[in-house]
Structure formats: structure tokens, C-alpha cells
Amino acid sequence: MADTTQYVTMSVAGEIFALPVARVREILENRQISRMPHAPEGFLGVIDVRNHSVSVFDLRAQLGFETGEDGDNTRIVVLTVITSEGEEMTVGLKTDRVFEVTVLDDEGALDPPPSVGPVSKTDCVVGIGRRNGTFVTLLDIDRLFSLRQIGAIAGAPDLAA
């Protein structure tokens, strides 16, 4: 049997997205986020995860969707991002819902992302897969954040200090 990549599937704005499970550290229930002044768009603030600050971004805003209300299923996915300089950073993404850890249909086959809009706005999409006949957009987590946002992550206060 071929080595098949597993993904964490989640929903924002009624759409289904996936991230490689190898990059996900944990999935947390929604919690109070400490806001930061003059934060870049999409940056919600920081949360405490075992005495370390984790910067949290709204996945809706990152993907260009309108913000929504938190619900009972809102989760924060804590994951590892690798910057263009190769540095690993831990961030959180607030999502409307997390579904499951799964493999994609057709042995993980992906269609290329559609060619729409400026490349800089769509290069965070690796491709389009399917799960149980439903489209799943696979995200490149390292390309989801702007340089300004990466600066906000690097400059966030450490709650353990």
C-alpha cells in the first residue's frame, strides 16, 4: 500500500480546507484571545498554551472571507509554520469547525488550483482534492501569512517570561 498523506480537515465560511496532519500540533477549544494593539489584519492576538504565547490568526480573514461569529464548534488549530528563512514558528488558526484526520479520495490526487486573481493571493492553495465526493482545498500553511504578519508573530510577547 502506498504511503498516503493524512490531513486535518476544517471548515470556514461553509468551505472545507485541509492541512497536513504532520504540521498540526494540537486542536484546542475556543478560548479568550488577548488582543494586541496595531495588529495586522487577520491577527487576533495571543493565547497561552502551556506557558508559551501562541499568536492566533483568523483563518476566515487569511482567506479573504468575511468574519463570522464564534460558535460551539469554533476551534483553534495550533500548528508549525516555516518562514522563508527556514525558522519554525508556532501559530494558531481560528476555524469554524474541525472535522477529522483523514486521507483524500483517489489516493490523495489533487487538481491544480484554479488560475484566478493575483498569484500572491492564491499561492497558499496547493490544490483541490476530494473527500467523500466533496471538494477540499489543500492549503500551504507556510504561504498563508504575509511578511507583516510573520513580524507580528516574531514580535508577540512571551507569556512565560
32-71 residue pLDDT tens: 999 988 888 889 999 999 999 999 999 999 898 998 899 9
Give the bridge partners for 97, in sequence order.
11
Task: Tell me what percent of the residues of the chain surpass a pLDDT of 70.
Answer: 84
Helix segments in the chain, DSSP class H: 59-62, 105-108, 119-122, 147-155
Q: Which domain holds residue 101?
A: 7-155
User: Which of 45-59, 104-118, 123-137 tops mean pLDDT?
Assistant: 45-59
Across residues 125-146, what is the average pLDDT? 88
pLDDT at 119 over 70: no
pLDDT for 41 equals: 82
Is-contact 16 10, C-beta < 8 A? Answer: yes
pTM, entire model: 0.84
- Is residue 58 assigned to a domain? yes
Give a yes or no: residue 160 inside a domain. Answer: no
In a domain, 87, yes or no: yes
C-alpha to C-alpha distances, 87 to 3, 17, 34, 60, 79, nearest whole angstrom: 27, 25, 24, 25, 14
Q: What is the pLDDT of residue 154?
A: 61
More confident residue, 133 or 118: 133
Beta strands in the chain (DSSP E): 7-12, 15-20, 24-29, 43-48, 53-58, 75-82, 88-95, 97-102, 125-131, 134-139
The yes-or-no verdict on residue 104 having pLDDT over 90 is: no
Examine residue 19 and state whether it is found in any structural domain, yes or no: yes
CATH of the domain at 141: 2.40.50.180
Residue 11 domain-assigned? yes
SS3 23: helix
**Domain count of the fold of the chain:** 1
CA atoms of 9 and 131, how far apart (whole Å):
9
CA 55 to centroid of chain Cα atoms: 12
Q: What is the overall mean pLDDT for the chain?
A: 85
- DSSP assignment letter at 55: E
Cβ pair 126, 150 in contact under 8 A: no
Query: Is residue 1, in this structure, part of any structural domain at all?
Result: no
Look at residue 161 and tell me if it is in a domain: no
Does residue 2 sit within a domain? no
